[in-house]
A and B are shown apart, each in its own frame.
Chain A
């Protein structure tokens, strides 16, 4: 009896493995920060990838009719510099024999793998790294996240279209903050608006009282902030309310500061803040509902999606679809042709990859912070459809 059972089990196992043996494992190397200051990014990427694969399966049927497994190999950049990224990428390509690279929360990390991607003819799916110029760095880059000007330009346009004539800017003194200030003022002035003051605050600033005094004296219709999420943006909103700017009717505008994962750090002063962003957590797209439900099911009530989750979900979707279309052994450029012409049915809403720039073109949502059922959330109040990165429009690719 026992023998018979074992034999049967073995034959079942054999036949199963026989069925899978001809299929292949398609490895994707994912590089992100899982420890250190930027550890949240890695965690959010990984949770969303696991959520996607749990909801849609780890395998896809290739053109050969066989099931191929997509396997993510995670490497921790440990919030260190781009030299570490290079090492990790080399190890993934040479030893793990990955077929694609993905992840990259910080721009310098994404830029660091251009040579490796070119030499190994390896597609790189960038899931955050928002510096506008990055996708020009290698023909193997495809980006599914966003750029800063993509948010800022629609925000300035919305402000002008909604009766705001004078704006004061407080932007953080680092490269993305400079981009934000440049694109906001350029767009707003071109429409006829006036920038009545512009201040750069140190990146770790938490004491905004003095800046608010300057804003009060300049009497703008709105205050535009570009501040790192966390203590700087929380402190700015607090000072904005405390110094009476809110009661004086000065509107507060921003971009990524009010993402839902950050809202619990604010108090009710933040209600009414208008931001422009490519993903609103409360939207009811089927993809978003699926993503949220899957994250909660797998990682508990506290797990919430953010832009990292959305980009990782979409990136994983693209990788799965490219293997389904081309099988596990196509050339790098073939995958790239597929990726750069893809349409995305993203949790954020509709989006496409621009085939020329290999960068995402997507809706930008204008949202207002409100309180629903005792919880601070963003509610969409307008949509700017299919925004292409304005930096790329200003800096057209050199024809050669």
Chain B
């Protein structure tokens, strides 16, 4: 196996991991912050994807479509947080799971009615659908685009969480929500804002990643396991953990498919199983959880 080939596999794994990261990072924060098992997170990614598909098929500029695909799920997420999710925070996990899986079914049915049961394509700009020369080989421009956007999102989020006041509040609320309330932080506003950002990122990820995880009505259910795996492996509430987890899972899945293609569907879960035996709280759990 040549070095160039190893690099190719690595790039494939990273680009896949970036999509997983962008979609899942919102989920990890909401699970860490609000202790909410939100199985409906994939629905927001799906809504973003379908919006981007609808707009780009109608000729809207791809980047404008991406923006709208982030904004609308963000707003929907904010509305849903206030109306549907907030009453759930103090409920038992079973209630949370039942209600959020119900939202998944509703969104699946709604998408089938509006857009049909067939897969729904997002039209990427011409230059993203072509391979480009990266020195040692040609490589799909689309994958490089995913890595670039994923990288930018990760850096911006890292900066926000580590260096801004918002980030400080967020970390405080995740680590010790009672104390955060006690010192007078408006945790409700923080929750709503964070939920919106998480859903907006999910929408963006769903739209951008449509070339890897194709849009169809079953999307929200089909991929939610992957998103949850990223959160659990990374550690609930841990931003850095979810990044590391998404990258690792992307790479493990790609390498697995290459070398043990028959076992690939199980390999990922075997890896997760072993990892959780070793570290039940995930790779980098937030302090409150650890």
> What 9 pairs across the A-B complex have the smallest Cβ distances?
A242-B140, A231-B214, A231-B119, A210-B257, A244-B131, A210-B258, A206-B214, A209-B12, A244-B138
User: Nearest CB to that of B256 among chain A residues?
Assistant: A210
Asked whether A296 is an interface residue with its Cβ less than 8 Å from the other chain, the reply is no
Question: Separation in Å of the A204 CB from the closest CB of chain B?
Answer: 7
Decide if A247 touches B12 in the complex (CB within 8 Å): no
Decide if B261 touches A243 in the complex (CB within 8 Å): no
Decide if B118 touches A210 in the complex (CB within 8 Å): no
Residues of chain A whose beta carbon lies under 8 Å from any beta carbon of chain B: 37, 39-40, 199-202, 204, 206-207, 209-211, 213-214, 217, 230-231, 234-235, 238, 241-244, 247, 262, 265-267, 269
Besides the known contacts A207-B212, A267-B121, 19 further A-B residue pairs in the complex with CB atoms under 8 A apart: A200-B261, A206-B213, A207-B16, A207-B213, A207-B257, A209-B140, A209-B143, A209-B254, A210-B9, A211-B261, A213-B12, A213-B258, A231-B119, A231-B214, A234-B214, A242-B143, A243-B131, A266-B121, A269-B129
A40-B117 contact, Cβ under 8 Å, with A206-B213, A234-B214, A238-B211: yes
Give the contacting residue for B12; candidates A204, A210, A238; CB below 8 A: A210
Asked whether B222 is an interface residue with its Cβ less than 8 Å from the other chain, the reply is yes
User: Nearest CB to that of B12 among chain A residues?
Assistant: A209
Decide if A265 touches B131 in the complex (CB within 8 Å): no
Decide if B117 touches A39 in the complex (CB within 8 Å): yes
Decide if A265 touches B118 in the complex (CB within 8 Å): yes
Count of inter-chain pairs, beta carbons less than 8 A: 70
Asked whether B288 is an interface residue with its Cβ less than 8 Å from the other chain, the reply is no
Task: Report A-chain residues with C-beta under 8 Å of the C-beta of B264.
Answer: 202
Question: Bound state CA distance, A234 and B214, in angstroms?
Answer: 9
Decide if A242 touches B131 in the complex (CB within 8 Å): yes
Task: Report A-chain residues with C-beta under 8 Å of the C-beta of B142.
Answer: 242
Question: Bound state CA distance, A217 and B211, in angstroms?
Answer: 23
A202-B265 contact, Cβ under 8 Å, with A210-B258, A238-B211, A242-B131: yes
Question: Separation in Å of the A342 CB from the closest CB of chain B?
Answer: 34
Question: Separation in Å of the A119 CB from the closest CB of chain B?
Answer: 36
A242-B258 contact, Cβ under 8 Å, with A230-B216, A231-B214: no
Question: Separation in Å of the B8 CB from the closest CB of chain A?
Answer: 6
Decide if B258 touches A214 in the complex (CB within 8 Å): yes
Task: Report A-chain residues with C-beta under 8 Å of the C-beta of B216.
Answer: 230-231
A230-B222 contact, Cβ under 8 Å, with A202-B264, A206-B212, A207-B16: no
Task: Report A-chain residues with C-beta under 8 Å of the C-beta of B211.
Answer: 238
Chain B, range 239-272, C-beta contacts under 8 Å to A? 254, 257-258, 261-262, 264-265
**What are 8 A-B contacts defined by CB distance under 8 Å?**
A201-B261, A206-B212, A213-B258, A230-B119, A231-B119, A238-B211, A242-B129, A242-B131
Question: Bound state CA distance, A243 and B211, in angstroms?
Answer: 13
Asked whether B55 is an interface residue with its Cβ less than 8 Å from the other chain, the reply is no
Decide if A265 touches B261 in the complex (CB within 8 Å): no
Question: Separation in Å of the A250 CB from the closest CB of chain B?
Answer: 13
Asked whether B45 is an interface residue with its Cβ less than 8 Å from the other chain, the reply is no
A267-B123 contact, Cβ under 8 Å, with A213-B9, A242-B131: yes
Give the contacting residue for A265; candidates B119, B140, B213, B257; CB below 8 A: B119
Task: Report A-chain residues with C-beta under 8 Å of the C-beta of B261.
Answer: 199-201, 210-211
Give the contacting residue for A243; candidates B117, B140, B222; CB below 8 A: B140
Question: Bound state CA distance, A213 and B216, in angstroms?
Answer: 26
Task: Report B-chain residues with C-beta under 8 Å of the C-beta of A200.
Answer: 261-262
Question: Bound state CA distance, A39 and B257, in angstroms?
Answer: 32
Asked whether B5 is an interface residue with its Cβ less than 8 Å from the other chain, the reply is yes
Question: Bound state CA distance, A244 and B262, in angstroms?
Answer: 25
Question: Separation in Å of the B155 CB from the closest CB of chain A?
Answer: 25
Task: Report B-chain residues with C-beta under 8 Å of the C-beta of A201.
Answer: 261
A204-B222 contact, Cβ under 8 Å, with A213-B9, A238-B211, A243-B140: yes
